[in-house]
């Protein structure tokens, strides 16, 4: 893939304060742009990060044909940069694209484009433990037309932003039954922009009640757990770790979720992917078998849960000292990502 590249004259990378990285507030020197028109992708370009110009009639502004991914690049102690499982995100991106009637983005634009971009902006990948370069590939419809119809022109872009070490104390979770995130026959399994906008009000109301995140339940019976906030969710009941299955198409197939399941199974822990009801969690709690619960996602990686508010009943999870899997998973993933452990699974995609 031939990528035309216009470099910045002066890099801003030396302006990053390594001790105070604010995620999503600073963007690296360059960005990638590829346009789709007349049924094919044009040559991608890497240009200095900056504003883009568009018609106010651009169709995605009005009709939301817009999808994204979130991926992280890590620098190891030797200074080598690798990306965590980018091909899994590329495949999921195209699953989203298909559901949203958007074109597939080929590997040589998504993966090779990302490789070129990160190589060029390698000084933007932070070195401290827990830090990374967050990579945001996204695509939106660019027809200048406000009739409601599937678009024919699209733009794919990649921007990147350095991310500091993510730590938050164990989260306080509110079980949401009034609002529903996704339903069978909808787009819950995709990373479409519309899924996120619909959650802003429920999330705001939850924070106003003093909780950090929502535990979403299914829309049909209002009892099966789905995701927490924008993360997949795992519960350890007795010796088993359980996470909701993806059958209904209402849950995102998280790359961290898949990695966590694989690591746990390798360690000999039973992992069940199946419908999990709030009632089952409450019953396990009453028997003293609710051992641990945590969210998984690219941003937080592993986010342990401190408590659940289920219709006014408070379920307090055991304290950190007793955690058997979440702390281990966090360390295991970090060791693989920062090259402290051999990457036997080929999860790390080497850049430079």
Give the one residue of 55, 119, 270, 313 binding a copy of itself; rule: CB under 8 A. 55
Three-class SS state of 163: strand
Question: Which of 72/285 has CB closer to a copy of itself?
Answer: 72
Do 120 and 5 meet the contact criterion of CB atoms below 8 Å apart? yes
Interface pattern 286-325 for a copy of itself (x via CB under 8 A): ----------------------------------------
Q: Tokens 């007793």 label which residue?
A: 322
Tell whether residue 185 is a contact of a copy of itself (CB under 8 A): yes
DSSP state, residue 160: E
Instruction: State the pairing for strand pair 271-273/240-243.
Output: parallel
Measured from the CB of residue 311, what is the shortest distance to a copy of itself in angstroms? 15
DSSP of 165-192, one letter per residue?
----PPEEEEEE-SS-S--TTSSTTS-B
Give the one residue of 34, 73, 131, 187 binding a copy of itself; rule: CB under 8 A. 187
Tell whether residue 56 is a contact of a copy of itself (CB under 8 A): yes
Could you say which residues in the range 189-218 bind a copy of itself, by CB under 8 A?
A: 192-198, 200-201, 203-204
Could you say which residues in the range 78-107 bind a copy of itself, by CB under 8 A?
A: 98-101
For the CA atoms of 211, 213, 217, 219, the dihedral, rounded to the nearest 10 degrees, stands at: 100
Tell whether residue 326 is a contact of a copy of itself (CB under 8 A): no
DSSP of 200-255, one letter per residue?
HHHHHHHHHTT-SEEEEE-TTTS-BEEEETTBEEEEEETTEEEE--STTS-S---H
Give the one residue of 86, 113, 162, 219 binding a copy of itself; rule: CB under 8 A. 219
The structure tokens listed for 318 are 């055991």
Q: In the complex, which residues of this chain contact a copy of itself (CB under 8 A)?
A: 23-25, 27, 31, 49, 51-57, 60-66, 68, 98-101, 134, 136, 138, 140, 145-151, 157, 159, 161, 177-180, 183-187, 192-198, 200-201, 203-204, 219-220, 229-230
């Amino acid at each position: 893939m031939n990528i035309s590249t216009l470099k910045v004259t002066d890099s801003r990378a030396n302006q990053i304060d390594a001790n105070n990285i604010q995620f999503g507030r600073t963007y690296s020197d360059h960005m990638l742009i590829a346009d789709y028109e007349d049924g094919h992708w044009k040559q991608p370009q890497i240009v200095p990060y900056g504003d883009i110009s568009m018609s106010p009639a651009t169709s995605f502004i009005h009709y939301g044909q817009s999808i994204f991914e979130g991926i992280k690049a890590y620098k190891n102690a030797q200074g080598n940069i690798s990306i965590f499982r980018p091909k899994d995100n590329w495949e999921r991106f195209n699953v989203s694209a298909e559901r949203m009637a958007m074109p597939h983005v080929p590997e040589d634009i998504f993966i090779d484009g990302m490789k070129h971009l990160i190589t060029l902006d390698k000084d933007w990948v932070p070195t401290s433990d827990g830090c990374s370069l967050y990579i945001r590939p996204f695509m939106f419809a660019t027809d200048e037309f406000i009739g409601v119809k599937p678009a024919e022109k699209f733009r794919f872009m990649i921007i990147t932003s350095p991310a500091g070490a993510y730590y938050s104390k164990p989260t306080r979770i509110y079980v949401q039954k009034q609002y529903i995130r996704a339903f069978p026959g909808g787009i819950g399994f995709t990373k479409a922009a519309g899924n996120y906008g619909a959650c802003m009000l429920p999330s705001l109301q939850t924070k106003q009640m003093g909780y950090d995140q929502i535990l979403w339940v299914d829309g049909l019976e209002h009892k099966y757990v789905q995701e927490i906030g924008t993360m997949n969710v795992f519960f350890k009941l007795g010796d088993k770790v359980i996470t909701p299955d993806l059958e209904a198409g209402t849950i995102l197939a998280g790359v961290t979720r898949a990695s966590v399941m694989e690591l746990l199974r390798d360690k000999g822990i039973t992992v069940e992917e199946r419908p999990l009801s709030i009632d089952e969690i409450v019953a396990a709690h009453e028997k003293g078998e609710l051992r641990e619960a945590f969210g998984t996602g690219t941003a937080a990686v592993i986010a342990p849960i401190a408590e659940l508010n289920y219709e006014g009943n408070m379920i307090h999870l055991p304290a950190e000292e007793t955690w058997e899997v979440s702390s281990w998973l966090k360390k295991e993933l970090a060791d693989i990502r920062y090259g402290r452990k051999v990457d036997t699974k080929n999860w790390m995609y080497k850049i430079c």
